[in-house]
Structure 1
Amino acid sequence: MRKVIRNTVLGVVLALCSALLLLAPSTSAEAAEPTQDEINAFIASLNPVAPPCDIVYKFSDGETYEVTPAIAMTLMKTNADGSFYIDPTTNYYALDYDKCAAVVGALAIQHSKKSTSNSVDFVTHDGETIHYDGISYSGWTVDTQNETLWLMNAIMTFYNGEHEMTYKMGGYVEVDISDQHAWYYDDNGNVVWDSDVVTGNTSRGNGTTLGYWTITKYMTTNTTLVGENYASPVSYWMPFKGNSEGLHDATWRSSFGGQIYKTSGSHGCVNLPYAKAKSLYSLVHVGTPVIVHQ
Structure 2
Amino acid sequence: EKKVEAEENKKSEDKKESDDEKKSEDKKEFDKKEEKTENKKTDDNKTEDKKEEKKTDKEDTKKTEEKKEPENKKDENKKTEQNDNEVKVDYVNHAASEESDEEKETKAKKKKKFIIASVSSAVAVLAVTVGGMVFYVNSNSKYFDKGSKINNIDIGGMTIEEAKNTLVDFENNYKISVVFNDSKKVIDGSSMGFKFVDESNIDDCLKEQNKDTFFNKLLSKGKKNFDLEYSFEDVKLNNILDKMEEFDKAKMVAPVDAHLEMEDGDFVIEKEILGNTMDITKATLAIDEAIREAKEEVDLNEFYEKPEVYSDDANLIKKKDNLNELIGVKITYKLPNDKEKVLDGKTLKKWLKKDEDGNYYKNKKKWNKKLTEYVDKLASEVDTVYKEHEFKTNAGDVIFLRAEGYYGYLIDKENEVKQLKKELKEGVNVEREPVFTRKEAAPYDDNYGFGKNYIEISIAKQHMWIYKDGKVALETDVVTGKNDGKHETSKGAFYAFDKRTNKKLTGEIKNGRPEYIVWVKNWIRVTNYGIGIHETSYRNRFGGNIWRRNGSHGCINCPAKTMPKIYEIVETNMPIAIY
Structure whose residues are more often strand by fraction: 1
Using CA pairs below 8 Å that are at least 6 residues apart, which structure has the higher relative contact order?
1
Structure with the larger helix share? 2
| Larger of the two Rg values belongs to structure | 2
> What's the TM-score, normalizing by structure 2?
0.26
